[in-house]
Amino acid sequence: MADANQQLLNPKEDGNVYGCLKAEVSLNDEKEIEHSELKEISKNSLSLSITFLLQFFITTVTIISTGKLGVVQLGGVSIANVTFQVSACIFIGMATSLDTLCPQAFGLKKFKNVWLFYVQCILISFILAIPLALLWMFSSSWLGVIVDDIEIIRYASSYLKIMCFSIPGYIMFECGKKLLQSQEDFDTGRKLLFIGVPFNVFLNFTLVNKIGFNGAPVAAVITYNFIGLLITLQAIKTPVFEQYKNCNINEYFSGWSTLISLAIPGIIMLEAEFFAFEVLTILSAKFGNTALAAQSVAASLQSLMFQIPFSFGVAISNRIAYQIGRNDFKKCKIITKLALVKMATSLFLINCSIFIFCGKALTSIFTSDPAVRDMATKILKIIALNQLYDVFNIISAGILRSQGRQRIGGYLNLISYYLIGLPLGIVLAFRSSLEVYGFWIGLGVGILILALLETYYVVISDWKTIIEASKKLHGGSVA
């Protein structure tokens, strides 16, 4: 194939017009594939963007509803949501292993593998949930180490104790989404959230008005378990579910190393980024309640807009993983080029423009305090510039997941955030007059380095070796 392509790109070697025609057809075919993939990925990404934004809004609305109660309540829910998001990244990271395994197995028509990986991911996630739930239950004993205000600690701890009951639904929804997405179903999660989110908003504001602060986490708990149940019911309606008849109980509890080996670096990739950003929110408390509230609002908006490129990263990851399973390295190359050149650039322009031109309006949704609003708006301008690098980081990370090369991304995330970005941000914040703004400038440098390195590893990918590794994985693991 490589020789044939080389011949097409150099028609003089054919010595006749037929060689030129073959080259033209080859280029036309590539453009046609690119157009088709752009349409398919954009459609799936749009659906995923809505899904992620709606899902993220379940916890974001708690900031809006409780923020109206006062600055202390806003600080409490902010710290609690920081803890929740960092902890939830473990479940999301676990589920990202399915971005590699399930689409590849589905492309190879190893449907039994798809079902087994899904169930195994749920089982492992529930085991990981036990220490996390204990951490939340006793959060009042350790929050004092990072937050000075006793009232903020009291509100945050109360919130987290209630949110322990959201874990089952959260896990089921994350894993259910991945199972459906591996089968090219990107719409069910969105449709279920169109039911769940309005229900959550109504429940949230109603309960906050009736029982106060604790009404917000109660509403989130009910919503997560509701949508988790709904997506599980959808999952068992898929043809893949029929494979449970071919599985024995021992298979569900064996071969976990395959999934864990991908899940751990996947968790590190997400956790490193999320935790770095959330550390900033915690450290912002050192500059006062106004800085903490502004940081919380800016971080919430950054996380909200993160869902757009992340959805493209997931759609791209699923699409490439499926082509890896089909042994189509030509499409893998075309999709990768399309993602890095056209999609990443477009996503940067969208996110950057929203932060620059709509920053003040967006911060006003979260708070009516003018000092908090002005500080948060200034932070968003720094975040707008950081989007240039972060978008390439997110897209490249998605491609690495599709290849089963999460380990590379895990190492690079640790280096970029914790050896470069976070230390630099802390120095700029506490050793200069930049304060909160220094956090984001320092992290921006780390993100730039991360994006350059991840993109480099994607560009030098050896697709034939990656496809052979996928065949070996699914041929000898759980099939």
Q: How far apart are CA 255 and CA 278, in angstroms?
A: 34
Do residues 443 and 437 touch, judged by C-beta distance below 8 A? no
pLDDT of residue 20: 37
pLDDT of residue 472: 84
- Sign, Cα dihedral of 54, 60, 62, 66: negative
pLDDT of residue 166: 95
Q: Please report, for residues 15, 269, 414, the alpha-carbon distance to residue 422 in angstroms, rounded to integers and kept in the order given.
A: 59, 15, 10
CA 180 to chain centroid = 17
pLDDT of residue 22: 40
φ, ψ of residue 147 in degrees (nearest 5)? -125, 135
pLDDT of residue 26: 64
pLDDT of residue 227: 95
- pLDDT tens for the chain, 479 residues long, are 334 333 333 334 343 433 333 444 466 677 788 888 888 888 888 888 888 888 878 887 887 788 777 778 887 887 888 788 888 889 988 998 998 899 999 988 889 999 999 999 999 999 999 999 999 999 988 888 877 778 888 889 999 999 999 999 999 999 999 999 999 898 898 899 999 999 999 998 899 888 888 899 999 999 999 999 999 999 988 988 888 888 888 889 988 988 998 899 888 888 887 778 778 877 887 888 888 888 888 888 888 888 889 889 989 999 999 999 888 888 899 999 999 988 999 999 999 999 999 988 989 887 788 899 999 999 999 999 999 889 999 999 999 999 999 899 999 999 999 999 999 999 999 998 898 999 999 999 999 999 999 999 999 999 989 998 888 888 744 44
Q: Which of 41, 461, 99, 82 is nearest to 285 (CA)?
A: 82
Half-sphere exposure (CA, 13 Å, Cβ side) for 175?
Answer: 29
pLDDT of residue 420: 95
pLDDT of residue 6: 38
pLDDT of residue 128: 94
Q: Which two tokens stand for residue 346?
A: 């477009």
Q: Does pTM top 0.95 for this prediction?
A: no
Give the list of residues 6+ apart from residue 203 with CB closer than 8 angstroms, or none. Answer: 219, 222, 223
pLDDT of residue 179: 94
Do residues 184 and 240 touch, judged by C-beta distance below 8 A? no
